[in-house]
Structure 1
Amino acid sequence: MRGFGAQSLTLRVVLSVSIWAIAGLVVIAIAISTLYRRDAEKSFRDLLRAHLFNVVNSVSINENKQLAGRPELGDLQFSQPGTGWYWIAEGVGQYKTTPLVSPSLGATPLPEKPASEVPFDIRFQRFYDIKDAAGNSLSVAETEVELDDQGDIVRFRVTGNKAVVEASVTAFNRSLYLALTIFGAGSLLANALAILIGLRPLDRVRNALENIRTGRAERLEGRFPSEIRPLANEVNALIDNNRRIIERARMQVGNLAHSLKTPIAVLLNEARAMTQAHGTLVAQQAEAMQLQVQSYLNRARIAAQRETVLARTEARPVLDRIVRVMQKLNREIEFEMDDKAPGAVLAMEQQDIEEILGNLLENAARFARSEIRVSFVELDQQDGRDMAELAIEDDGPGLEPDEIKEALKRGRRLDESRPGSGLGLSIVSEIVSEYSGRFSLSRGASGGLRASLILPIVAQEKPKRG
């Protein structure tokens, strides 16, 4: 898989699933912890109630009207001072007697809350929280019982240290969070792997589209899941339809060119039989018409296949071939090639590249003294497209800015002493424009004319780092 980006579908799905899973685990942890705390507090209260009943059953009033009894609660904390685990039995109302207390409480008074603040329930029991002299948070279970037939009422209280509950909840939460963290990390890893594996067919589709875009394939090849197969079939159908449109346009252009070829040839032949003055004029106009018809036919053909995945041409072989031909035709001129974009593929038809190169090199050879330099360099992306600059520079006299404007006009020739129709640079400009490129002329470093072409190229996959 390639690196995740801000617009990555994989990253979005992984993040969405991860956030949802983490949120779910957090909610589950809080719910379980809350339920456990509630159960622990209930168990703690039940324990206090059991101790309270044990104390009630162990205490009585003797013949001296004194409280008597030795409650055995089975917990050493009731014997150790300051533990927060206490019991006390004391007379209420008219019954005044020495209270019975646990060894852990000793002579320290135990705070209490009035019944008006925490009333007794229907079983004449109540529970509330206090703090003892040692600063312990205590939970109190209290009841009042009539111990004899003379109406003597005794209040019983049993306290427990709430730190026990907190310690139990803390230990449980620690184990719970550890278990959920391990489970959550494993689940997130499993989800991420499942998503990466599930979206891997999209990588194959992307690679197949890159192969089409770079000219290594003409269709989406390979086996795809049933969810993606309709998309692949539609893309292949679109490519086939695009190819048929291009072939139809080429055939129509060829038919039109063939139908115009004969009438123009007849005009040229008839012009030769006319008087010299009229014949020359007719011949010149027929030749201009022939070039213009060809130019418009080229534009129609380019418009039919522009921006398709089928217009792909490797630049270097075409450059080498055209330069080699021009070198043979102009042996007195030295051609220098500087290719700084090896392997670049132009998003153009080969015959269009050959036409603009032929026009520019022929124009440069016409005025060069001894040298023509051809350079090809890849540029940074412009308007989201990959572009390259093809520059042709001669060491001739060059042109002034005003002359450059005139040279780019259709049919204008600045040097009437040399052969030509004056349409070459205009045709180059039109072809480059149809491919959404740019064509410009300027004075070169050697003083001659420099023709610059900004042409679209196919993005090449960058080599991956080891």
Structure 2
Amino acid sequence: MSSPPSAVSATVSTAETRRRAPGSISRRILLLSLAWIAGLTLGGGLLLDRLVTATLIRNFDAQLAETLPIMIAAAELDSAGDAYFNREPAEPRFAEPYSGRYWQVSAKGRSDFRSRSLWDRTLALDLDKACLTLCTSRNESFDDEPLRLVEQDAIIPGSPAVFRFAVAAAAAPLDSEIAAIRRTLWLALGVLALGLVALAALQASYGLQPLRRMSATIADIRAGRIRRAPEADVPPEIAPLVAELNALLDHGAATTEAARMHAGDLAHALKTPLSVLLNEAAANSADLAATVRREATAMRRHVDHHLARARASARRASSQARAPVWPVLERLQRAVSRIYAERGIVIDIAGDRDAVFQGEAQDLEEMAGNLIDNAAKYGGGRVFVTVQARGERLEILVEDDGPGIPSGLDRKLFERGLRLDTSQPGTGLGLAIVRDIAEIYGGSVRLAESADLGGLAATLALPAAVRPAVA
């Protein structure tokens, strides 16, 4: 029985996700450490190997070369023009056949003068190559005995020929010494590399332990065993993460509580109008239509108010937007002026043209628009808007030349549905909406008497976006 296409696609998608998923941090640290340690060990080992080998060979050749000045100083010519020593080198091994230490003096057209240790053998020397200074090489004259060869050209007094003085030694001891040192070197480097890998594994395990504890803490929070991440005994590198996690939890709890309160407020606000409508409908009241209009209008006010708060809360929680203040105020100036064109309303704007609100432009329009609309609606014809940005705070002052507000009623004006002037159309929710949205952004709104126009002065305080430094 074949699997359904949806199951097959889900399985393929899961497999692709697993293939594309990045490895764990521990695995990344271990792989990076392994690559780094392997590279350093291999590169360092090769470098040390070459350095030690070259040093041993150079010292070996230097010991051989000490015999050449003695040979050149003791060299003379016989009656046939061939070379001989008036005093042979004192090294005993030069007199022992096949001892592994040899010397030879050769020249073109002359007989070879050899040490007794060579016996019936002759060193194969390249006389066509000049060796005015010391020449060192590995010589394979004898199949069963590789040699290290040191050569130098010299002229024996009384002879026009150039003689080649050569000293050779069996390379087997040198090769054995190099092999032993090489084994020791690579063994030491291997042990060091294993120790470094173990240290990297320990660092990955112990160093990432706070992250594993954070994972367990998040699991406990999700399961409801704890409400917040403990901030005690937290490494400094993890402390900001813990603080941000707790802040996120607090914000989520506050948002949930606010949503619960809004839902309760809305349900309570709609309960009374609905009860009135049900009672009127059950009693077949004669003025049922008027009652429906009145109560529906009240319910709409409540719904509009809570919708405005819900939209502002959602934008505030999911956005880090920036809104220039001046263009928003200019749009509101044109819109409100057209609405009250028959009254000749004059709206003036002054202050900081570069002020920027740290929030959404729609919310700024909602708040400033309500204040400016109220000033134009209830004022005497003049509205003055002033913008001031002071560090991280932004203030928008809206003044009018109206009658103002009676003493002691400034706080009551923020209550939903309360209106001082019932002759003008409205819902009585404008200032309440302004206050609620401002509080969502951490701001506030204050009402006072205008010192310049004599009417109402509403001050809207909001967070200002930090301006970039000018180079």
**TM-score normalised according to structure 1 size:** 0.52
Q: Which structure 2 residues correspond to residues 115-130 of structure 1 after superposition, within 5 A?
A: 115=128, 118-121=129-132, 123=133, 125-130=134-139
Q: Deviations over 1:351-408 (max 9, x none)?
A: xxxxxxxxxxxxxxxxxxxxxxxxxxxxxxxxxxxxxxxxxxxxxxxxxxxxxxxxxx
Tell me, in whole angstroms, the C-alpha distance in 2 between the residues paired with 1:16 and 1:216. Answer: 37
Q: Which structure 2 residues correspond to residues 67-106 of structure 1 after superposition, within 5 A?
A: 67-69=84-86, 71-72=88-89, 74=91, 76=93, 79-81=96-98, 85-90=101-106, 96=110, 99-106=112-119
Q: Deviations over 1:78-135 (max 9, x none)?
A: 6242x65321124655xx5x543223322323222133xx3223x4x43444321435
Out of 278, 303, 308, the residue aligned to residue 268 of structure 1 is: 278
Residue 239 of structure 1, CA deviation: 0.8
1:210 aligns with 2:212: no
1:230 aligns with 2:240: yes
Out of 147, 166, 186, the residue aligned to residue 195 of structure 2 is: 186
**Are 2:93 and 2:101, in contact at CA under 8 Å, matched by a contact in 1?**
no
Out of 164, 178, 185, the residue aligned to residue 155 of structure 1 is: 164
Residues 1:187 and 1:263: Cα distance change in structure 2 (over 3 Å): same
SS in structure 2 of the partner of residue 23 of structure 1: helix
Residues 1:80 and 1:191: Cα distance change in structure 2 (over 3 Å): farther
Tell me, in whole angstroms, the C-alpha distance in 2 between the residues paired with 1:238 and 1:224. Answer: 18
Residue 258 of structure 1, CA deviation: 1.2
Residue 203 of structure 1, CA deviation: 1.2
Residues 1:229 and 1:139: Cα distance change in structure 2 (over 3 Å): same
Residue 215 of structure 1, CA deviation: 1.1
Q: Deviations over 1:140-193 (max 9, x none)?
A: 322343444566764322123334433222211100011111122112212321
Residues 1:271 and 1:112: Cα distance change in structure 2 (over 3 Å): same
Q: Which structure 2 residues correspond to residues 354-433 of structure 1 after superposition, within 5 A?
A: none
**Are 1:62 and 1:68, in contact at CA under 8 Å, matched by a contact in 2?**
no
Paired residues, what number? Answer: 279
Q: Deviations over 1:433-465 (max 9, x none)?
A: xxxxxxxxxxxxxxxxxxxxxxxxxxxxxxxxx
Q: Corresponding residue for 1:166? A: 175
Residue 220 of structure 1, CA deviation: 0.7
Look up the equivalent residue of 1:71 and give its one-letter code. Answer: E
**Are 1:77 and 1:104, in contact at CA under 8 Å, matched by a contact in 2?**
yes
Tell me, in whole angstroms, the C-alpha distance in 2 between the residues paired with 1:249 and 1:152. Answer: 111
SS in structure 1 of the partner of residue 23 of structure 2: coil
Look up the equivalent residue of 1:119 and give its one-letter code. Answer: A
SS in structure 2 of the partner of residue 120 of structure 1: coil
Residues 1:53 and 1:219: Cα distance change in structure 2 (over 3 Å): same
Tell me, in whole angstroms, the C-alpha distance in 2 between the residues paired with 1:90 and 1:120. Answer: 13
**Are 1:144 and 1:156, in contact at CA under 8 Å, matched by a contact in 2?**
yes
Look up the equivalent residue of 1:110 and give its one-letter code. Answer: L
Look up the equivalent residue of 1:185 and give its one-letter code. Answer: L
Residue 46 of structure 1, CA deviation: 1.2
Tell me, in whole angstroms, the C-alpha distance in 2 between the residues paired with 1:70 and 1:85. Answer: 17
**Are 2:106 and 2:113, in contact at CA under 8 Å, matched by a contact in 1?**
yes
Residue 219 of structure 1, CA deviation: 0.7
SS in structure 1 of the partner of residue 219 of structure 2: helix
Tell me, in whole angstroms, the C-alpha distance in 2 between the residues paired with 1:78 and 1:230. Answer: 83
Q: Corresponding residue for 1:36? A: 52
Residue 11 of structure 1, CA deviation: 1.5
Tell me, in whole angstroms, the C-alpha distance in 2 between the residues paired with 1:75 and 1:229. Answer: 78
**Are 2:148 and 2:168, in contact at CA under 8 Å, matched by a contact in 1?**
yes
Residues 1:149 and 1:214: Cα distance change in structure 2 (over 3 Å): same
Residue 28 of structure 1, CA deviation: 1.0
Q: Corresponding residue for 1:21? A: 37
SS in structure 1 of the partner of residue 124 of structure 2: coil
SS in structure 2 of the partner of residue 132 of structure 1: strand
Q: Which structure 2 residues correspond to residues 324-363 of structure 1 after superposition, within 5 A?
A: none
Q: Corresponding residue for 1:431? A: none
Tell me, in whole angstroms, the C-alpha distance in 1 between the residues paired with 2:250 and 2:224. Answer: 15
Out of 242, 255, 263, the residue aligned to residue 253 of structure 1 is: 263
Q: Deviations over 1:298-351 (max 9, x none)?
A: xx99xx99xxxxxxxxxxxxxxxxxxxxxxxxxxxxxxxxxxxxxxxxxxxxxx
1:12 aligns with 2:15: no
